[in-house]
Amino acid sequence: MLRINNLHAGIDGNAILKGVNLNVNAGEVHAIMGPNGSGKSTMANVLAGQMDYEVTDGEVLLGEKNLLSLSAHERACEGVFLAFQYPVEIPGVSTIQFLKTALNSIRKYHHLDELDAMDFLEQVKDKMQQVDMDESLLYRAVNEGFSGGEKKRSEILQMLVLEPSLAILDETDSGLDIDALKTVADGVNAFRASSNQGQERAIILVTHYQRLLNYIKPDFVHVLMDGRIVESAGPELALELEAKGYSAWAA
């Protein structure tokens, strides 16, 4: 589904990603781990089309499509979703209006009719229950005054509503207490499970800690160090990292 070949990227002339290679197949969950500053968030943002980052080399294919040639909104319409580490507050735009505009934009891109307002609302309410979100948040401005947990739940809700094929979760576990972490993990697992129902889905989890991986079991764990993937293995690698730290790969 996703093929990253020799990806180089940076910001303001500073190289951050220095040749990332990664293949993600439909149905798989990949965890990207690594110390602070190793390039994890940069990778997530570059894939989502954050134009502050400059791609200097390499290619990224989503299916047959050259992802790097698409704008951020086109990537979203093609099925890429980034759950933000720090979700942005948008005063004056209600969450429900935002979700509806987003979903209808994606539908329009695929030449589908807009959803009926009432059907849409029912769908969203069902999915809110899945992530244990209070319905009143729908009518509040996007992320405005949301607690850390509410913001992360809202990211997962958006993922469930927009139904992307590739979800990239950037430190979605950070700042969550254990109950919220479980709820968020349940949401992600539900999303993952739905790929068995004929939907092609893959997940990239960007995380510091092994903790999240207790709840969302990855198929592969990769260690990102200084802009390169230096080790890839099964879920047992996360446990090893938890025990030994990253020093074994330090240059």
- Tell me which residues touch other proteins (CB under 8 A): 48-51, 71-73, 75-77, 81-82, 84, 87-94, 96-98, 100-106, 109, 117, 121, 136, 138-141, 144, 158, 162
Least distance between other proteins and beta carbon 167 (Å): 12
**For other proteins, which is the closer residue by CB, 48 or 237?**
48
**For other proteins, which is the closer residue by CB, 77 or 169?**
77
**For other proteins, which is the closer residue by CB, 68 or 230?**
68
**For other proteins, which is the closer residue by CB, 35 or 87?**
87
Least distance between other proteins and beta carbon 240 (Å): 33
User: How far apart, in Å, are the Cα atoms of 172 and each of 142, 155, 182, 216, 246?
Assistant: 17, 9, 12, 12, 21
Count the alpha carbons within 13 Å of 248 in the hemisphere toward its beta carbon. Answer: 10
Least distance between other proteins and beta carbon 88 (Å): 4
**Three state DSSP letters for 162-220:** HCCCEEEEECCCCCCCHHHHHHHHHHHHHHHHHHHCCCCCEEEEEECCCHHHHCCCCCE
8 Å CB contact between 212 and 221: no
Least distance between other proteins and beta carbon 20 (Å): 20
